[in-house]
Structure 1
Amino acid sequence: MKLSYVSTSSIREALRYSMARMQADLVDGQKEVQSGKVADTGLALGVRTGKTVSLSRDIDRLKAIIDSNTLVASRLTTTQDSLSQISDAASTFLTAMTSASSGNATPETTRQAAVSMLEALTGIVNSSFNGEHIFAGVNTDVVPLADYFASGSPAKAAFDAAFEAKFGFAQSDAAAADITPEEMTAFMEGAASDLFLGDGWSTVWSEATDQGITTRIALNETAETSVSANNEGIRKLVMAATMVANLFEAPLNDQALGTIAKKATLLVGEAMGDIAQTQAKTGFVEQRITQASERITMQSDIFKDFLHDLEGVDPYEASTRVNALISQIETSYALTARIQQLSLTRLLS
């Protein structure tokens, strides 16, 4: 008969190894309970791991587009609110111009209405969202519209220079009283028009770009998601307000002032139509973004279901396994404590 012995040291080592394995399994089990997926995708899926990597990447891309669409939608909402404010201010200004055209308002009252319109318009167009100027086109870090009333304003200097070049004297000169309606019309449709509706606009008035911000709203779809201060309606409103604010303090005769008021009334009416079209276009883009986000969300949910089928775990089974491992580890600690108390001296004493 062969005798063998088992030392307490070998028992402790065996328990230590077993405990280390159980602790590693416990960490993996807790990860699975918290995340709802296997702790080691490569070990669990083998050659199918590439599918999970591809699906995860696609889900992240779709999530990034959804987040971008949310931000863009907020910016467009702000843009719509600003356009509505411009439209309301233009409507008030149009009422003042109508009164001036019919001779029912004093020049000073009319001029104050134009000053208020230009100040309000400048403030709205130069507003920002999330640190970006919403009417600046792609130049979101610059103020798009020049402040006409600022000290040393290039816009005012350009308008004054155009007037003097046309008539040969400053607006404050007494000779301004002799300007005829025909001469004033020629000025407004010529030199003045070039400052606002021609090349002068980008030279002295606007730092915005004609090109708007193009945003990817879906994997295969883009949209222009901004409105530029170079919009035709904004230009016409600036022109109308500037002419009235500037020329209605000059010593012009009533016929010339009436000609200016009628031109301003025409410009404001056209501008309101342009602004309305811009609002409609912006609303259409908002609708496209909403629909695109809904489609992307559905697609992302499908990908998530596929991914869960590949690497998902049963949360109840994972919880049961974790509880069992905790019980086994606690039992192992208790046995280890018992074994450490065994000694030959204690047995013989």
Structure 2
Amino acid sequence: MNFSSLGDSVRQFQLNRQNVALKTTLNTLVTELSSGEKTDKVKATGGDTARFSFIDNRLKILESLSFVAKETQLTLSTMQTALTNFDAQRGALAEQLIPINAESPDFQVQQAGDDARARLDGLISTLNTRLGDESLFSGTAVDQTPVISADAMLADIAAQIGGATDKATIIATVETWFEDPAGGYAMLGYTGDTGDHAERRLDAGIKISLDARADDPGIRAVLKGAVVAALSQNLTGLDKGTQTDLLFEGGIMLQAAATDVTQIQARVGTAESETERFAVSQSAEASALSMARNLIIQADPFETASELQAVQLQLETHYTLTARLSQLSLVGYLR
């Protein structure tokens, strides 16, 4: 009768290989149970990895675009809040200035001029609002503060006015300073970018324009009215009649600028709405793709747990057999 048996070295090698195989399977199942995903993507997709790769890549792109959309929403929301504050200051100052006339008490005229000067500071401060390290109303030049200080603005305009003390010259000079494309506000007052409006790319072929800048005609109209009113107390040699005329004219300018500011707010609101719509659409797409991805590679927790228990039992049995075999001796064998 023929008899064959394995040598000790061969048997030890087989035991080690089985041990490694069982441990590898055990680690794989533990990973799948904790992550909820199958580790063998090729097997999970039936060899069709192209569809899975597309879904995975698109999900990564959507994650990045989601960050851009949220950042854009925050920027637009902060811009809208600033514009609301800007318009509120415009309206309050207009209401205060329009009732001023030649019959108004001196203290009221003085107070109105002082308030106009203070409001000018507030208006400029609002336009210089920053979100983090970026200016909101300076276009693409986000590192630049868009509007110079009220002191610098009034000083330059006063220098242009010279010694004139009549209402017509003062208002004409202010108009020119704010409207001249080659000087005044365009060259000195506004320090942001004047090129194409800033844009945010929300997806392929989809961009949102951030076109609210401090050089907008509506913004200039508000500042112009506040400056005219502030000059009533900033210029020397003006009689009360000229002062009250400047205060009244400034109020009328501020009131007339209401529609322009509303149009800027409407544009920002439209951009907000578009950004929200794309954000919702992208979120829905990400949810659908995540579901499709899970259907492909999601590991069944109950099946994985059962397989894990079976492998653990195999590994325990393997260790038991290995321990017993290691205790064999020639004497024991001959018995």
Q: TM-score, normalised to structure 2's length?
A: 0.89
Structure-2 residue corresponding to 1:173: none
- Alpha-carbon offset, residue 70 of structure 1: 1.2
Q: Deviations over 1:11-56 (max 9, x none)?
A: 3322211111122222222232233332121344364111111111
Match of 1:193 among 165, 169, 175: 175
**What does 1:52-131 correspond to in 2, within 5 Å?**
52-101=52-101, 103-104=103-104, 106-131=108-133
SS in 2 for 1:215: strand
Q: Deviations over 1:175-205 (max 9, x none)?
A: x5xx44xxx224423x321222332212111
User: 2:328 and 2:9 mapped to 1: Cα distance?
Assistant: 11
User: 1:33 and 1:213 mapped to 2: Cα distance?
Assistant: 47
SS in 1 for 2:228: helix
- Alpha-carbon offset, residue 226 of structure 1: 5.0
User: 1:231 and 1:330 mapped to 2: Cα distance?
Assistant: 77
SS in 2 for 1:214: strand
Q: Deviations over 1:68-114 (max 9, x none)?
A: 11111111111111111111111221122123246435332122111
User: CA RMSD, aligned part only?
Assistant: 2.4
Q: Deviations over 1:148-179 (max 9, x none)?
A: 23xxx3x3442122111xxxx3xxxxxx5xx4
Match of 2:221 among 232, 236, 239: 236
Q: Deviations over 1:103-152 (max 9, x none)?
A: 43533212211122111112211111132111111111111111123xxx
Does the 8 Å CA contact 1:136/1:228 hold for their aligned counterparts?
A: yes
Aligned length: 329
- Alpha-carbon offset, residue 269 of structure 1: 1.0
Alignment partner of 1:342 is 2:328: yes
User: 2:255 and 2:275 mapped to 1: Cα distance?
Assistant: 31
Structure-2 residue corresponding to 1:301: 287
SS in 1 for 2:48: helix
| Percent identity (aligned) | 19
Match of 1:216 among 201, 205, 209: 201
User: 1:204 and 1:114 mapped to 2: Cα distance?
Assistant: 21
- Alpha-carbon offset, residue 345 of structure 1: 6.2
User: 1:253 and 1:339 mapped to 2: Cα distance?
Assistant: 116
Deviates more, 1:330-339 or 1:115-124: 330-339
Q: Deviations over 1:263-320 (max 9, x none)?
A: 2112211222222222222122211111111112222222223323333332221222
Does the 8 Å CA contact 2:97/2:112 hold for their aligned counterparts?
A: yes
- Alpha-carbon offset, residue 243 of structure 1: 2.7
Does the 8 Å CA contact 1:139/1:209 hold for their aligned counterparts?
A: yes
Does the 8 Å CA contact 1:118/1:238 hold for their aligned counterparts?
A: yes
User: 2:101 and 2:212 mapped to 1: Cα distance?
Assistant: 32
Structure-1 residue corresponding to 2:255: 269
1:340–1:195: structure 2 CA closer, same or farther, 3 Å change rule? farther
User: 1:257 and 1:156 mapped to 2: Cα distance?
Assistant: 16
Return the letter of the residue paired with 1:25.
Answer: T
Q: Could you tell me which runs of 5 or more consecutive residues in structure 1 were left unpaired when the two chains were aligned.
A: 170-175
Structure-1 residue corresponding to 2:156: 158
Alignment partner of 1:206 is 2:182: no
User: 1:103 and 1:315 mapped to 2: Cα distance?
Assistant: 86
Does the 8 Å CA contact 1:218/1:293 hold for their aligned counterparts?
A: no
User: 2:19 and 2:103 mapped to 1: Cα distance?
Assistant: 98
Q: TM-score, normalised to structure 1's length?
A: 0.85
SS in 2 for 1:223: strand
SS in 1 for 2:200: strand
Structure-2 residue corresponding to 1:172: none
1:136–1:6: structure 2 CA closer, same or farther, 3 Å change rule? same
